Every structure is written in C-alpha cells, then in structure tokens.
C-alpha cells in the first residue's frame, strides 16, 4: 500500500518534464493512468469476504511513528472515491484546461493532493495521518490559488489554508493527548482502549480538538465560509476536492474516531447540532446564490452537514445511511460540478441570471443535469440514488432515543423537523439550478459566446458519474453486502445488513419526502416573492465579515509588533534574542530543577590551566574597552589561541588543530578586511543602556556556564561517550575516537557541513564575480 500512496507523489516529480510535450500530447493523458491504476489495484478488495489488511513500514520507530496502513471497509470506500473520481477528473481536465495553461503545475499539485488524501484515509498512525492531513491543506491551497493572478483566487486559497490549518493544529493537540493517554499511536489500538479514554478527565478537550479539525476541513457551520471562496479554483479542482475528497476528509475523521467517542453523550449532541445546523443554513443560503459554483458550494456544505448529522446520531441505521450517502453524493455532486464547468466553458459565464434555455443548445448536458439535480433533490424516483439515502436519513432521525439529558431530549424531538426544513431548501436550490439554466427563454445577448454542446470527451466523465447515479438507483443493493456494509461496520460494529428498496409502504419517511417535494415546489414557484427575506436574514450579518475583521486585526497588530522591534539595528536584535533566551531558559531551568552543581569526580585544576583561563578572560574583557581596530583583532586572536591551548592541555590535538586553523583564518580575514571595518570610538550610550547590556551579557554568560556545569553534574542518561569508546574500533576501524565519530558515525553530518561550506564559498565567488562584471560595464 505504501507504493499506492506514494506513487502519485513520485510521478509528480516528472510531470513538469512531461508538460514540455503538451502541444503534442496533453499532460493529463499521462497523469490519468496513475489514479486509474490505483483504482484497479484496490477494486480487487471489494467482496463479501473482505477482511481488513494491515501493513507497516518503519519510519521513526524510536518515536512510534511508522507508516502503518490499515485498509478496512471505510478506508476502502474513500480510496475508491479518491482514485476513481480522481481518474474521471483528470480525464475531464484534459478537455477543460487548454495547453496554454501551466499544466505541469496543475497536475503536480493534483497528484500531491491525491497522495495526501490516500495517506489520510489509509494511515493508522495518528501522527502520520496528521502529516498527510496538513499536506492536503498545502496542496489544496496551491490548487485553489492555481490562477494566482486573480485576486479572488489568492483570497480563497489563503482563507482555506488559514481555516483548515487552524483546525489541523487543533486536531494535532487531540491526537497528542490520545497518544499520551493510551500509550500508542495506532488508531485501532486506541479504539481497543475506548474504556480508558472515556474515563479520562481530558475526554471533553480531546473530543473538542478533534472535532475542530473535522469541522473546519468539512466546512461545517460556522467554518463553512472558506468553501464558497474556494470555488475560484478551476472546475476540475472543485469537482475533485470539494465534492468527493478534501471536504470529506473531516467526515472520514469523524467516522474513524466514532468507535471511540460514540459512547460519549456530548459527541451525539455536538456533532448532531453542528451537522443539522449546517444542513439547514447552507441549503437556505444556496437559494440566494447566483453563481453556479456558488450554488453547488453551499449545496455541498448542506450535504456534508447531513452526513455529519447522521454520524452524530451514531445508530446502525444512521451510520449505514451516512456511508451510503457519501457514495451517492460523490456521484451526483461530482457530475454537477463538471456540468457547471461545461456551461462556463461553452457560454463564458456561470452567472445564472444570464443563463436560460440552454437545453435547446446543450441537450446532452441538460439530460445529465436532470439526473444530477433531481437525485440531489431526493425526488422519489426509482432510478435516482439520492432518494434512497435521503429517505434513509429521514428514517434515522425518527429512530433517535433520548438519554435523559435535556439537550439530547430536545434534539431527538427537533431533528426530524429540522431535517425536513433543510431538505425543502435542498429541493428548492436543486430545481433553481436546473430550471434556471436549462429552461425558459435563452439570453444570448448576455453571453460571451453562442452556447453549443460540449465535446464528447468533456461529457464522458459526468456521464460515467450519472451512470453511477442510475445504476445505484435501479440496483440499490448492488454494493451493500460486498462494499457498503464493510464501511459501515468500521464505524459501528452493530450495523446490520438490510435490503434497500424503493417502496416501503406508507410510512413516515415517505410522508417526509412528499412534504419536502410538495412544499419545495411551492417555495420554488414563489421564490421571487419571499427571496427578500435574505435582506433580513442574514441581512448585513456575515461570517465572512467576521473572518475579514479578524484577519485585518491580526495583520494590524502583527505589523505594530514587528515595527516595534524591526528597527534595522543588529544590536537591538541581539539584545532581544539574548534577553529572551536568558529569561525563558532561566525560568524553565528553575521551575524544572534543572540547575545542578556537583563537585564529585572532578579532575585536579593545575596552575597552567588557571593561567590560560585568566589570559582568555582578560583578553575577552579587553575587547570591550579597546578603541584600536588592530588591537581588537589581535586581542580576539588571543582568545581563540587560548582556547586552542586548553585543547592541547586536555589532550585533544584534533580539536586544537581545528581551532588553530579556524582562528588563524579568522584573524587573517579580519586583517584583510581591516580597511572596511568600522572605526572604533569611545562609547557614548546612556548609563541605563550600559547597565542593561552588562546585565544581559553577564547573565547570559553565567547562564551558559551554569548549564554546562549542570549538564556535567547530572546523570539522567548513560553517557554516549561509553558507546563511542566501545564501538569506535569495532565499527569504524580506528583508534582515534574523534576521527571515527566525524568520518564514520557522523559521516553524513560532516558531509553536509562540507556541502554547506562549499555552497557558501560558491555564493561568495559568484557575488565577487557579479561585482567585477558590474564594475567592468
């Protein structure tokens, strides 16, 4: 599985080279085979006899951080969505993106994101999961900001990054606490210790941190504001990230950790409230939008809220309905994003106010849109998969039972009504999306180009997704026993396999669906009459304004703080740095009892050592008072040569030689630069400045001295010197321990140090050469 996860990232390295041939072969043709091969690899696991698969690859075993991959029904569902829809998105982008675009950048970012998502859903190690989680934020930032020359693209990319990374850091805090409580970094091992976690006092904090990560990533209320702005990304990105993959990462996280938190009553309360509020608010706001992708953005938020709510319910029926809707939503929403892209591509606009009557010009696109929008609306037709999962959602709201908590009891009563309310507006925006675009009079005078049907290649991907809508609708039990039940069981082990069918008789969920359709039709037909309500709610209120205000204030405060210390004075910078180190280090050393002074096992101090140290001390102090440049250079040399003398006394000839060479080179360089050195003059600082400098310098020196003595006086760990003494000859074949350490045991470190010095030397030579060339001109 490691290869399957990393192969998109590995292939991404050569994408920029392949893009050089884009005039002959579109880069997407090469990229298509990567997700498609991953899909073929994992599709073989689908079956009624499927058993979870675990694979481990060592990474940082000393910290318990390894590539632990766990493939169960839940991760298999997401892997197939990531790779399957990823293949269709790449195929669609071949026709959507012109070869004049930066295709190398686009597919590199897309493949990077694909690796990140595969890593998230397959990782069993919480810290590896977090690593891939943040990689999704970084790669999505690059994809959303792909058209970086557009101000709105940059704004949307930054907003998504800030909100999702904030949630990711919160999630990391929860994962660290979970790891500390359970003593493991494995999610499955944590699930096995659910009783320990539920009994821990930090449970509310852990759940809050992890839920923040999930809510921000899946655009749940009130963190949903980043998703509409992310629609500035190219349509293939929207179809991939914002319908089937990235926004469902938070859904996956909730599902993965549900076996841990589902026994905690506040998990039901918080997740259900956030999910149902997100469903209602986003579906209500979707009707207000005029941009096709804006409508789809809020529709995505509402659908994610519905799935989140079902995971919050936690019952077997609700979990199965949630898993089923994850699959259904990916099919109809992915196709609708692609259809929106086709309309934009062929008409030059996404503004629904300028569209209408397109069915005449784009019949194939219109037919595909019928299935996508009607399925999203949950219209009771046997060939639409959206109806099945919507009815299952209604049924799950009726099966909730009160636990005695007042808030939970209120939710149990209110949720069915809120579910109907949110679904009514879901119906309205679905009808608004289809009929507003494909019916009515054509507005050709408002379009940049005369509309026409998209090329067949661009229709293939949405056609396949719509075919999925129809197939699942006609055969709803096709994947139950072989696929969906395994995903649901990974979330709730009590899930039972039930046959889905279109007709259940005249039961409450059917009446709820009929109410949605009936009231939805009335609301849609009278939309112009009641749409003024948006001037009242939300009116001028907006979470976007809150976000913009917070960001502006952060920028202003940050600028003031930065301007206060970024004065251009190196002396000021050194003062701040040394003072901070002095205060913070001293505080923590005192609090933790780090200062330890022991006089045991000390060697005898000889007269010559005292004499050398005195010379070094006097020379160091003398540098402060000298007004001669030449004198300062020579006195500094005395300090360096004095240290070399100490190395000789302590029988470290290698260090002594190194110190002598460095000191000689340093003195020589100072003398060569003698003419350019600033003129030394009598210091005229205020007495307070001199006192502050003295306190910082003396305090910092004393701190370093005490730390050195404390380090020598403590024996918390076995000295590593014993290891070097015992193994230097055995492993390195040398009696000189220092040489063996530098050349063998720390060979790579030494190599990189030499490399850094070499690069610095080349940079200096280049600067000198550039200066000579400039002067010659």
Question: Is pLDDT above 90 for 516?
Answer: yes
Which DSSP letter does residue 567 get? Answer: S
8 A C-beta contact, residue 372 and residue 466? yes
How far apart, in whole angstroms, are the C-alpha atoms of residue 418 and residue 346?
A: 39
639 and 759 co-located in one domain: no
Q: Does some domain include residue 547?
A: no
- Are 71 and 210 contained in the same domain? yes
Q: Is residue 470 part of a domain?
A: yes
Same domain, 289 and 216: no
Whether 179 and 154 map to the same domain: the answer is yes
Same domain flag for 147 and 44: yes
Q: Which of 44-58, 376-390, 590-604, 691-705 has the lowest mean pLDDT?
A: 590-604
The whole-chain average pLDDT of the chain stands at 90
Q: What angle do CA 213, 219, 222 make, to 5 degrees?
A: 90
More confident residue, 143 or 540: 143
Q: What is the pLDDT of residues 365-399, one digit of tens each?
A: 999 999 999 999 999 998 999 999 999 999 999 99
Domain boundary residue, one of 242, 261, 280: 261
Nearest to 616 by CA among 656, 649, 643: 643
User: CA-CA distances (angstroms) from residue 550 to 8, 218, 476?
Assistant: 37, 21, 47
* Contact in structure between 131 and 63 (CB atoms under 8 Å): no
Task: Identify which of 277, 282, 162 has the alpha carbon closest to the alpha carbon of residue 230.
Answer: 162
Domain of residue 362, residue span = 264-525
The verdict on 236 and 366 lying in the same domain is: no
Span of 260-269, 293-302, 472-481 with lowest mean pLDDT: 472-481
Q: How far apart are CA 462 and CA 236, in angstroms?
A: 11
**Which has the minimum average pLDDT: 222-231, 542-551, 672-681?**
672-681
Based on the fold, state whether residues 587 and 627 are members of the same structural domain.
no
Same domain, 103 and 153: yes
User: 487 and 387 in one domain?
Assistant: yes
What are the tokens at 284?
A: 């209500």
Note the residue count of the chain. Answer: 777
Are 230 and 279 part of one and the same domain? Answer: no
What is the pLDDT, as a whole number, of residue 775?
63
Query: What pLDDT shows up at residue 63?
Result: 76
Q: 123 forms bridges with which residues in the sheet? A: 69
Evaluate whether residue 554 is within a structural domain. no
733 against 531, higher pLDDT: 531
As a whole number of angstroms, the distance between CA 744 and CA 766 comes to 33
* pLDDT, position 192: 94
Mean pLDDT of 141-148: 94
Domain stops at, among 261, 279, 310: 261
Q: For position 539, what pLDDT does the model report? A: 83
**What is the DSSP secondary structure assignment for residue 454, as one 8-state letter?**
P
Interacting residues of 607 by C-beta distance below 8 A, sequence separation 6+: none
Percent of the chain with pLDDT over 90: 62
What is the tally of structural domains in the chain?
5
| 447 domain residue, yes or no | yes
711 lies in the same domain as 729? no
Confidence of residue 777 (pLDDT cuts 50, 70, 90): low
Quote the pLDDT of residue 663: 86
Is pLDDT of 776 > 70?
no
Banded pLDDT at 160 (limits 50, 70, 90): very high
* Ramachandran angles phi, psi of 14, nearest 5°: -95, -5
Where is pLDDT greater, at 624 or 282? 282
Domain co-membership, 631 together with 700: no
Instruction: Indicate whether 773 pLDDT > 80.
Output: no
**Share above pLDDT 70 across residues of the chain, in percent, rounded to a whole number:** 99
Least confident of 100-109, 158-167, 682-691, 767-776: 767-776
Rounded mean pLDDT, 750-760: 87
Please check whether residue 532 lies inside any domain of the structure: no
Give the C-alpha separation, 299 to 305, whole Å. Answer: 10
Q: Is residue 127 part of a domain?
A: yes
Task: Compare 655 and 253 and report the one with higher pLDDT.
Answer: 253
Instruction: Please give the pLDDT value at position 716.
Output: 72
Query: Are the C-beta atoms of residues 500 and 477 closer than 8 Å to each other?
Result: yes
Residue 168 near residue 162, CB atoms below 8 Å:
no
The answer as to whether 283 is a domain residue is: yes
Which residues fall within 8 angstroms of residue 257, CB to CB, at 6 or more apart? 187, 210
User: What Å distances lie between residue 613 and 506, 619, 647, 699, 774, CA to CA?
Assistant: 97, 10, 12, 19, 48
Which is nearest to 428 in space by CA: 531, 537, 297, 275? 531
Say yes or no to pLDDT of 686 above 90: no
In a domain, 676, yes or no: yes
Boundary (domain end) residue, out of 240, 261, 282: 261
Q: b or e along 93-109 (b: 16 or more beta carbons within 10 Å of the residue's beta carbon)?
A: bbbbbeeebbbbbbbbb
| More confident site: 219 or 602 | 219
Which H/E stretch holds residue 54? strand 53-60
Task: pLDDT band for 156, please (50, 70, 90 cuts).
Answer: very high
Is the pLDDT score of 631 beyond 90? Answer: no
> Which has the minimum average pLDDT: 428-432, 494-498, 610-614?
494-498
């Amino acid at each position: 599985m490691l290869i399957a996860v990393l192969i998109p990232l590995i292939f991404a390295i050569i994408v920029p080279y392949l893009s050089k041939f884009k005039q002959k072969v579109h880069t997407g043709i090469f990229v298509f085979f990567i997700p498609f091969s991953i899909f073929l690899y994992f599709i073989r696991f689908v079956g009624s006899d499927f058993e979870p698969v675990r694979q481990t690859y060592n990474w940082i075993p000393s910290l318990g951080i390894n590539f632990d991959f766990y493939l169960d029904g839940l991760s298999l569902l997401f892997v197939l969505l990531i790779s399957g829809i990823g293949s269709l998105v790449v195929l669609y982008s071949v026709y959507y993106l012109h070869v004049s675009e930066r295709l190398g950048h686009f597919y590199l970012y897309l493949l990077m994101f694909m690796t990140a998502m595969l890593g998230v859903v397959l990782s069993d190690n919480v810290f590896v999961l977090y690593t891939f989680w943040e990689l999704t934020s970084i790669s999505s930032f690059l994809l959303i900001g792909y058209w970086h020359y557009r101000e709105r693209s940059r704004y949307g990319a930054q907003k998504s990054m800030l909100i999702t990374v904030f949630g990711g850091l919160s999630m990391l805090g929860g994962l660290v606490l979970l790891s500390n409580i359970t003593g493991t970094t494995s999610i499955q091992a944590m699930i096995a210790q659910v009783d320990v976690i539920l009994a821990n006092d930090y449970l509310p904090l852990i759940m809050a941190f992890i839920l923040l990560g999930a809510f921000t990533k899946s655009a749940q209320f009130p963190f949903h504001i980043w998703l509409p702005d992310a629609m500035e990304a190219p349509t293939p990105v929207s179809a991939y990230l914002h319908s089937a993959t990235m926004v469902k990462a938070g859904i996956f996280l909730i599902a993965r950790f549900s076996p841990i938190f589902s026994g905690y009553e506040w998990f039901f309360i918080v997740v259900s409230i956030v999910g149902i509020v997100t469903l209602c608010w986003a579906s209500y706001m979707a009707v207000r939008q005029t941009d096709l992708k804006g409508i789809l953005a809020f529709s995505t938020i509402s659908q994610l809220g519905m799935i989140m709510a079902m995971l919050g319910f936690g019952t077997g029926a609700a979990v199965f309905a949630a898993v089923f809707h994850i699959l259904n939503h990916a099919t109809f929403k992915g196709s609708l994003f692609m259809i929106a892209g086709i309309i934009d591509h062929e008409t030059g606009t996404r503004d629904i106010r300028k569209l209408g009557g397109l069915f005449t010009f784009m019949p194939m696109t219109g037919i595909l849109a019928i299935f996508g929008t009607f399925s999203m609306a949950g219209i009771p037709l046997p060939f639409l998969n959206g109806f099945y999962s919507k009815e299952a959602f209604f049924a799950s709201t009726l099966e909730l039972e009160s636990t005695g908590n007042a808030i939970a009891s209120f939710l149990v009563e209110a949720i069915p009504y809120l579910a109907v309310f949110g679904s009514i507006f879901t119906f309205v925006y679905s009808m608004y999306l289809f009929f507003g675009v494909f019916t009515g009079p054509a507005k050709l005078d408002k379009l940049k180009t005369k509309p026409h049907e998209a090329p067949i290649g661009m229709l293939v991907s949405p056609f396949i997704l719509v075919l999925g809508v129809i197939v699942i609708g006609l055969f709803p039990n096709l994947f139950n026993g072989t696929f969906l039940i395994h995903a649901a069981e990974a979330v709730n082990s009590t899930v039972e396999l039930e046959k889905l069918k279109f007709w259940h008789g005249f039961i409450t969920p059917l009446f709820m669906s009929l109410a949605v359709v009936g009231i939805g039709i009335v609301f849609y037909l009278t939309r112009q009459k009641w749409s003024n309500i948006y001037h009242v709610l939300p009116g001028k209120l907006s979470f976007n304004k809150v976000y913009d205000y917070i960001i502006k204030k952060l920028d202003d405060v940050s600028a003031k703080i930065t301007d206060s210390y970024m004065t251009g004075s190196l002396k000021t910078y050194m003062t701040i740095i040394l003072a901070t180190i002095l205060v913070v280090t001293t505080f923590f050393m005192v609090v933790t009892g780090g200062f330890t002074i022991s006089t045991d096992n000390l060697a005898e101090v000889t007269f010559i050592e005292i004499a050398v140290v005195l010379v070094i001390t006097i020379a160091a102090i003398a540098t402060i008072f000298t007004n001669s440049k030449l004198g300062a250079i020579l006195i500094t040399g005395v300090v360096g040569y004095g240290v070399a003398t100490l190395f000789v006394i302590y029988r470290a000839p290698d260090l002594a030689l190194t110190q002598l060479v460095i000191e000689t080179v340093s003195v020589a360089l100072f003398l060569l630069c003698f003419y350019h050195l600033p003129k030394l003059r009598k210091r005229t600082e205020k007495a307070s400045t001199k006192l502050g400098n003295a306190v910082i310098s003396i305090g910092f020196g004393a701190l370093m001295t005490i730390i050195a003595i404390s380090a020598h006086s403590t024996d918390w760990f076995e000295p590593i010197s014993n290891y070097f003494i015992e193994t230097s000859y055995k492993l390195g074949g040398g009696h000189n321990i220092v040489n063996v350490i530098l050349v063998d045991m720390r060979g790579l470190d030494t190599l990189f140090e030499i490399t850094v010095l070499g690069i610095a030397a080349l940079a200096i030579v280049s600067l000198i050469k550039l200066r000579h060339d400039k002067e010659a001109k």
